[in-house]
Structure 1
Amino acid sequence: MSHLNPKKLLLSKWTAAKPENKEKHFIVTQLIEPETPGAPCELIIIEAVHSGNSRTIPWKELTDTTKWLQGWK
């Protein structure tokens, strides 16, 4: 899964491998544009479906299968 395209992550669904606070299912709600025009996107905002809590993470963290699984499992 190391071939993720950050431009295609918007609204993608993810499952936390080790859920905390009943937050298991997440959806990517925003890609954070870099300050430098033309620079690659590095950060995303991911929101927990259960609680609505959001957090900003580097999108490459989603390739770590010890933390994230693609889709809702």
Structure 2
Amino acid sequence: MIIVKPPKLNPRKLPRSKWTAVAPQNREKHFIVSKVLWPDDPALPLEMIELEAVHSKRVQVLPWRALQDTSVWRQGWH
């Protein structure tokens, strides 16, 4: 049995990072973090990012920590 550790992510290095969906839907497999949605108050932590599908250009907003779920996302393009 192989145990996969979630990737350690630095929110400041997320822009333009590449991700692969483990279970692609609608032919959307490869994604790029197109925008980091920093809160208006700089004292608050980062919560959300925009993830853009390379194939369709569809953008979705999700919590940046969702990328640490190895059952859904893999870092890089595979």
Fold equivalence (TM over 0.5): yes
Q: Secondary structure at the match of 2:66?
A: helix
Asked if 1:28 corresponds to 2:33, the answer is yes
Structure 2 unaligned spans of 5+: 1-5
Write the mapping of 1:1-73 to structure 2, written as runs, cut at 5 A: 1-73=6-78
After TM superposition, give the deviation of residue 50 of structure 1 in Å.
0.3
Structure 2 CA distance for aligned equivalents of residues 68 and 26 of structure 1: 10
Deviations 1:38-59 (A, max 9, x none): 2111100000000000000000
RMSD: 1.0
> Would you identify which runs of 4 or more consecutive aligned residues in structure 1 move more than 2 Å?
none
What count of residue pairs does the alignment treat as equivalent? 73
After TM superposition, give the deviation of residue 37 of structure 1 in Å.
2.4
Q: Secondary structure at the match of 1:66?
A: coil
Structure 1 CA distance for aligned equivalents of residues 12 and 48 of structure 2: 11
Structure 2 CA distance for aligned equivalents of residues 58 and 22 of structure 1: 22
Greater radius of gyration (CA) = 2
After TM superposition, give the deviation of residue 35 of structure 1 in Å.
3.0
Structure 1 CA distance for aligned equivalents of residues 20 and 56 of structure 2: 14
Structure 1 unaligned spans of 5+: none
Structure 1 CA distance for aligned equivalents of residues 64 and 26 of structure 2: 22
Amino acid paired to 1:31: V
- Give the TM-score of the pair, scaled to structure 2: 0.88
Amino acid paired to 1:16: A
